[in-house]
Amino acid sequence: MDASKWTTQQILSRQIRFTKPGRCGTAAIDIIIKDDDNGLECEDDCQRAELRTAKKFWPAFGDEVWYSFSFKITGEVPSVGSARSVIGQWKGPGDSSPMIAQRFDNGIFHITVQDNDVRRVVAKAEGDPDALVSAQAALGELQLNDQTINAVKSLQSLELLKKTMPDLSQQLFKQELFKGLEGDAQSPATQTLSKTLRLSENLVAQFNALSFVADPDKYIGAADVEIRPEGNRPLPDPRMDWVDMIYRIKPGRTDNEYGPRRRGEIDIWANGQKIVSVSGNIGATLKNGEPLALSGPYFKFGTYRLRIPGEFHFQFDEFSQAATRPGLAQMCQTH
């Protein structure tokens, strides 16, 4: 690892190892989190171990930037119970949550973008992309208040209980209740759940496409984010093999008071296939009264999550950053 290109302010030296072979031979960086590891710069009981690009490599905010890298997840990887697991992120001026994030909640690799405080999943490792877009559109019609937050979290709890503990769900609830989660907005069970939770039938029927996310309340409310999936292509599972990612990122918002005043653009490829294109108001609105340096977004990789038992490995290799796609380093071809 070149210390002139990466900063280590959010990782301990003992959490960085090297594993052989890497994605294309030689060695890859292996970031390790163990049971007793705490997080640096954590707000709660979390585990954080991330490397960040050095500031001299941050682009001018608003410029088009391309990134490519390979990663893999090994070790004790829970398929359920993981929450707020970020495994790569880009942060721009004024961002609290990352404008773009790779996440791994409840065993599902997915990518999110942020419109100020409202989040959207733009790609995921399994499921129906159209149902995902539909579920998020239904959440976008809700008002953010305690009633809707509690209702959506209750709906998520039912979904996860049905998926992860079917025997327990059969003991605790009448099975007619769970028929309302099977995608039919017109079924009596869906309408009963809808009335009880005061949520739309469409949201109740479609929510299973989004039930894996860590913070469903982050998806409530309107977001100016257009998601255009490329066919029915899921993201690969990083537990199975190396995943090769390419991102094209051009930040922007139509409501910026300074900086790039246009719709932002993102294109994402995985293992050589185009997955999704995204456009809209991405990241935080730049306000004249709160001037910030127009640099970034900066990229971080590693792990940032709520505490989970076990030893978790995030392996990373073949990173490249350039102003154009031809400027990226050539990846070896194994997929």
Secondary structure string (H, E, C) spanning 188-240: HHHHHHHHHHCCCHHHHHHHHHCCCCCCHHHHCCCCCEEEEECCCCCCCCCCC
Kindly state the average pLDDT of the residues 153-172.
74
Kindly state the average pLDDT of the residues 194-222.
90
Which of 115-119, 141-145, 293-297, 306-310 has the lowest average pLDDT? 306-310
Kindly report the backbone phi and psi dihedral angles of residue 8, in degrees, each rounded to the nearest multiple of 5, phi listed first.
Answer: -120, 25
pLDDT confidence of residue 123: 94
The confidence band for 132, taking pLDDT boundaries of 50, 70 and 90, is confident
Kindly state the average pLDDT of the residues 286-295.
93
CB count within 10 Å of CB 183 equals 15
What are the tokens at 137? 């559109």
Kindly state the average pLDDT of the residues 130-142.
89
The confidence band for 134, taking pLDDT boundaries of 50, 70 and 90, is confident
Q: Would you list the DSSP string of 256-294?
A: -SSS-BS-EEEEEEETTEEEEEEEE--BPPP-TTS----
Q: Do 308 and 39 contact (CB within 8 A), yes or no? A: no
The full length of the chain comes to 335
Domain ranges for the chain: 6-141+226-327, 142-220
**pTM score, two decimals?**
0.91
The confidence band for 182, taking pLDDT boundaries of 50, 70 and 90, is confident
CB count within 10 Å of CB 276 equals 21
What are the tokens at 242? 């190396």
Distance CA 248, CA 240 (A): 25
The confidence band for 63, taking pLDDT boundaries of 50, 70 and 90, is very high
Q: Cα dist. 208→68, 126, 172, 213 in Å? A: 31, 12, 20, 10
196: left (phi over 0), alpha (psi -120 to 50) or beta: alpha
pLDDT confidence of residue 119: 96
Q: Do 217 and 119 contact (CB within 8 A), yes or no? A: no
The confidence band for 17, taking pLDDT boundaries of 50, 70 and 90, is very high
Distance CA 287, CA 265 (A): 20
pLDDT more than 70, % of the chain: 90
| DSSP tally for the chain: helices H, then strands E | 6, 15
Instruction: Give yes or no for residue 172 having a pLDDT over 70.
Output: no
Instruction: Give yes or no for residue 81 having a pLDDT over 80.
Output: no
pLDDT confidence of residue 160: 76
Instruction: Give yes or no for residue 168 having a pLDDT over 70.
Output: no
Kindly state the average pLDDT of the residues 312-322.
94
Pick the CATH number of 6-141+226-327 from 1.10.3720.10, 2.60.120.200, 3.40.50.450, 1.20.1250.20: 2.60.120.200
Distance CA 5, CA 52 (A): 8
Average model confidence (pLDDT) for the chain? 88
Instruction: Give yes or no for residue 207 having a pLDDT over 70.
Output: yes
Distance CA 37, CA 295 (A): 32
pLDDT confidence of residue 25: 79
The confidence band for 206, taking pLDDT boundaries of 50, 70 and 90, is confident
pLDDT confidence of residue 46: 82
Q: Which of residues 191 and 121 earns the better pLDDT score?
A: 121
Kindly state the average pLDDT of the residues 325-332.
92
pLDDT confidence of residue 53: 95
pLDDT confidence of residue 220: 95
Instruction: Give yes or no for residue 315 having a pLDDT over 90.
Output: yes
Amino acid identity of residue 247, one-letter, is: Y
Kindly state the average pLDDT of the residues 46-54.
90
> Could you tell me how far CA 26 lies from the centroid of its own chain?
29
The confidence band for 68, taking pLDDT boundaries of 50, 70 and 90, is very high
The confidence band for 180, taking pLDDT boundaries of 50, 70 and 90, is low
Kindly state the average pLDDT of the residues 81-86.
73
pLDDT confidence of residue 72: 94
